[in-house]
C-alpha cells in the first residue's frame, strides 16, 4: 500500500522530474532492473522446490516477469536514443535456511505487491503514451502474481501466521534498507554542499595567493635576467 508521501513523490517525479532530459529513460531502466531482479530470485527459489507441478507454475511466473523486463527495455528504447544498458549490481541469496524455502516467496510476494501498487499509481498519473500502455499490460500480470505467490506460500506449508510474520519482517528490513539509502544520499548531498561552500569562500583567497606567487616568480625571473645582462 502506497503512503501519501509515496504518492506525492510519484506525482512530483511524473510532472517535474521526468520532464528533465534523460530522467524518464533512467526511471524506466530502474523498472527494468526491478523486474530482472525478481526473475533472478524466482530462479533461486525454483532450485529449492521438489514438486514438479510447483516448479512448472513458478517457471511460468518467471517467464512473465522476464517479459516485463523486456517490455521495459523496449519502452526505454522508445524514449531514448541510446541502447539500454541493464543495471549491474551484486545479488545474493536472501535466505540460507534451506529448510524453509517458502520464505523466498514471502519476499517475492511483498515485492510483487509493492510493484503492483507503484506501477498502478504511476499508470494512473501518466498521460497517454508508450510507458502508460506498457504499464497497463504489466499491472494486469502483477495483480495475478500477488495471489499466485500467496497460494505458493500455502502450498509450501506456511501458515497464515507464518506468512504474516515473515511479510512483516521483510517490510521492516526493506524499510531499514530504504532508510539507509536515503541517509547516504542526504550525507552525500550535505558533503557536496559543504565542499561547494568551502570552494566559493576560500576560492578567492586561494586565487589571490596563487596570483601573488606567480607575480613574485615573474619578478625574480626578470631580476635574474637583468643581472645576467
pLDDT tens column, 1-47: 788 888 898 899 888 889 888 899 999 999 999 898 888 888 888 88
At 64-84, the pLDDT tens digits run 999 999 999 999 999 998 888
Dihedral over Cα of 91, 94, 97, 101: its sign: negative
Cβ contacts of 129 within 8 Å, gap of 6 or more: none
The chain-wide mean pLDDT, for the chain, equals 82
- How wide is the angle at C-alpha 182 spanned by C-alphas 176 and 187, nearest 5°? 125
Instruction: Answer left, alpha or beta for residue 129, where phi above 0 means left and psi between -120 and 50 means alpha.
Output: left
Its domain, for residue 116, covers: 4-158
Within a domain: 106: yes
Within a domain: 187: no
Number of domains in the chain: 1
Place of cell 494512473: 124
Distances (CA, A) of 10 to 24, 40, 44, 49, 107: 12, 26, 31, 37, 23
Within a domain: 110: yes
Within a domain: 8: yes
Tens-level pLDDT at each residue, the chain (229 residues): 788 888 898 899 888 889 888 899 999 999 999 898 888 888 888 888 888 888 898 899 899 999 999 999 999 999 998 888 887 666 777 666 556 778 888 888 888 888 899 999 999 999 999 999 999 999 988 888 888 888 888 888 888 899 889 889 888 887 877 777 667 666 666 777 677 776 667 667 666 766 676 666 655 545 555 555 5
Altogether, the residues listed in the chain come to a count of 229
Q: Give backbone dihedrals phi and psi of 93, rounded to 5 degrees, phi first.
A: -60, 135
Looking from the CA of 229 toward its CB, the CA atoms found within 13 Å total 6
Q: What is the C-alpha separation between 27 and 84, in angstroms, rounded?
A: 12
DSSP characters for 105-174?
HHHHHHHHHHHHHHHHHHHHHSPSSHHHHHHHHHHHHHHHHHHHHHHHHHHTT--HHHHHHHHHHHHHHH
- CATH at 34: 1.20.1260.10
Within a domain: 10: yes
Within a domain: 54: yes
Within a domain: 203: no
Q: Quick check: 141 and 64 in contact, CB under 8 A?
A: yes
Within a domain: 174: no
Q: Give backbone dihedrals phi and psi of 51, rounded to 5 degrees, phi first.
A: -75, 115
pLDDT score of 129: 92
Amino acid at each position: 500500500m502506497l503512503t501519501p508521501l509515496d504518492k506525492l513523490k510519484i506525482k512530483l517525479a511524473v510532472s517535474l522530474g521526468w520532464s528533465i532530459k534523460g530522467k524518464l529513460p533512467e526511471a524506466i531502466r530502474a523498472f527494468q532492473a526491478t523486474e530482472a531482479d525478481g526473475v533472478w530470485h524466482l530462479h533461486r527459489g525454483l532450485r529449492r522446490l521438489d514438486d514438479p507441478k510447483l516448479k512448472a507454475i513458478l517457471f511460468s511466473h518467471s517467464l512473465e516477469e522476464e517479459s516485463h523486463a523486456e517490455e521495459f527495455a523496449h519502452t526505454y528504447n522508445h524514449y531514448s536514443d541510446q541502447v539500454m544498458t541493464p543495471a549491474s549490481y551484486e545479488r545474493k541469496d536472501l535466505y540460507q535456511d534451506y529448510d524453509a524455502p517458502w520464505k523466498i516467496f514471502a519476499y517475492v510476494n511483498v515485492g510483487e505487491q509493492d510493484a503492483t501498487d507503484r506501477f498502478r499509481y504511476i499508470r494512473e498519473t501518466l498521460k497517454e503514451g508508450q510507458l502508460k500502455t506498457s504499464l497497463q499490460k504489466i499491472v494486469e500480470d502483477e495483480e495475478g502474481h500477488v495471489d499466485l505467490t500467496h497460494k505458493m506460500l500455502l502450498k509450501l506449508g506456511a501458515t497464515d501466521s507464518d506468512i504474516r510474520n515473515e511479510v512483516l519482517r521483510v517490510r521492516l528490513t526493506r524499510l531499514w534498507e530504504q532508510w539507509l539509502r536515503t541517509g547516504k544520499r542526504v550525507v552525500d548531498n550535505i558533503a557536496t554542499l559543504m565542499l561547494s561552500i568551502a570552494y566559493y569562500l576560500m576560492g578567492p583567497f586561494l586565487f589571490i595567493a596563487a596570483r601573488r606567487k606567480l607575480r613574485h616568480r615573474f619578478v625574480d625571473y626578470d631580476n635574474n635576467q637583468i643581472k645576467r645582462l
